[in-house]
Amino acid sequence: MTDIEAETPAIEVRNPGTGDLVGTVPDQSAAEVAAAVRELRLFQPEWEAIGADGRKEWLMKLQDWIIDNTEQLADVLQSETSKPRADALIDPAFATDLIGFYARRAGKFLADDHPSPHSPLARVKRLTTVYSPYPVVGVITPWNFPLAMPALDVIPALAAGAAVLLKPSEVTPLSALELARGWAEIGAPPVFAVVTGGGATGAAVVANADYIQFTGSTATGKKIAAACVERLVPYSLELGGKDPAIVLADADLDRAAHGVAFGGMFNSGQVCISVERVYVEAPVYDEFVAKLTDAVAALRQGLDGRESKHDVGGLANEAQVAIVQRHIDEAVAAGARVATGGKRTGQGTLFQPTVLLDVDHSMACIREETFGPTLPVVEVADEAEAIRLANDSQYGLSASVWTADKARGERVARQLNAGAVNINDVFANLFNFALPMGGWKQSGIGARWGGAAGVRKYCRQKAITTPLLPTAQKELTWFPYQMPKLMVALGAMRAAGARGKRRFDLAGVRKIQGGSK
């Protein structure tokens, strides 16, 4: 792997599955971050000026580069995460899909809007909304998807016309550097840069950029929000999750069991929208638990090279292993049972996929974000109890509902306090860029994507009014006030906006006119 020589202190990057050193990156200072932002500011105006079509050409070249270098990108990604090969290949494929969506549509999404006037009086003006990008967008990403997570926000921001400074997690910075290498190799304008380092480096990004997009823990998100408020800089946060799955008695239990197993164990449970709680109606509880336990126990766990042999790999680091083990141990001590798994394998950070039974809301495995391969399952009496317990959380990122009745599924979905709900599926919203992806409650502020909103979020809106009719020397409402003319204007406003007889009640106007000189 590539070593980056620098005068600043170095951060070692290790494969969590083997412990092998796979690279070093500089722990860059606040001064270096500020210099990177200044450099980006120099080139951003030209990037904005080439327009959406010009930016599309560069983004599509980046897409070509990602496709042509997929195997190398997967190698790097595996080296710093110990993901199975199949999981490692998802990141570049996801980035490719996202680039195609926003590069091709940014022109339409960023075109001037001409909203209809709200009343006949306003039709004397042509109304225009213009979208101008923030000069430098700062993107701070976590370690769970080292290539896909940067792409989620870097691509829409670039498509919007902003320059982007990316600070990846110090645990997995190598894939982000590969993305920057690709940008440089295609000869793109220098409006995308990566800085590496720990918390101080991230804080410097927050202190210098014009818009902050952060994905990570709720605790860190709150600190970033406070810093942005102090600077009056806009921000968007995707934070923690504790996503519930509700399995109703009429569900296809085989599909539900396989779907929940995938939703809880994909990437070893290290996904912001992982299934982390399961509520099952009593009539099918035993049958569902048996199917889920079988599905989880059958997962193949281990470390892959370029070949794909396993379903589940290792956790990102020892700190994550400790959280998973604590949640399981505390639950068992409080009366929970382990249906399968429950311990680490003895190889690196691999932790057995685990199903926990007899759990309740007093336990950390239900209340706190685990971010690991555990599925606590709760038996509920009915749909109402499932909804109540699913909503009994500080988080609200996403959820899933499993039922044969689509209307029932939608009815339940509308009652869940979450930013997204998938019916008879998991993660489906993540692959539909026309939908917004955002959290409620402690799961975040703002959203990414949502079609046009995904690029417009990185823009400032400007309102422009243009006269459509010949203009006089002054308007009726300008100085010096002439009460009869002013009352005509105010009466017209009332007639256009009010309802019923009040629209035409001019008694008040006549009274004012009578007392005016």
* 470 preceded by a cis bond (ω within 30 of 0): no
Confirm if 395 and 240 have CB atoms less than 8 A apart.
yes
Confirm if 269 and 260 have CB atoms less than 8 A apart.
no
The three-class DSSP label of residue 279 is strand
Conformation bin of residue 505: beta by default, left when phi > 0, alpha when psi is -120 to 50: beta
Confirm if 449 and 156 have CB atoms less than 8 A apart.
yes
Conformation bin of residue 268: beta by default, left when phi > 0, alpha when psi is -120 to 50: left
Give the closest residue to 428 by CA, choosing from 452, 403, 399, 406.
399
Longest CA–CA span in the chain (Å) reads 94
Indicate the DSSP class of residue 355: E
| Structure tokens belonging to residue 172 | 């997995």
Give the C-alpha separation, 72 to 175, whole Å. 10
Helices and strands, counts by H and E, the chain: 17, 21
CB atoms within 10 A of CB 161: 27
Give the C-alpha separation, 247 to 383, whole Å. 9
| Structure tokens belonging to residue 94 | 């996801």
| Structure tokens belonging to residue 186 | 């295609």
Conformation bin of residue 453: beta by default, left when phi > 0, alpha when psi is -120 to 50: alpha
198-216 b/e (C-beta count within 10 Å ≥ 16 → b): eeebbbbbbbbbbbbbbbb
Question: What are the contacts of 217-224 at 24+ separation with CB within 8 A?
Answer: 218/395, 218/442, 218/443, 221/444, 224/140
Q: Write out the catalytic residue numbers.
A: 238
Give the C-alpha separation, 152 to 99, whole Å. 9
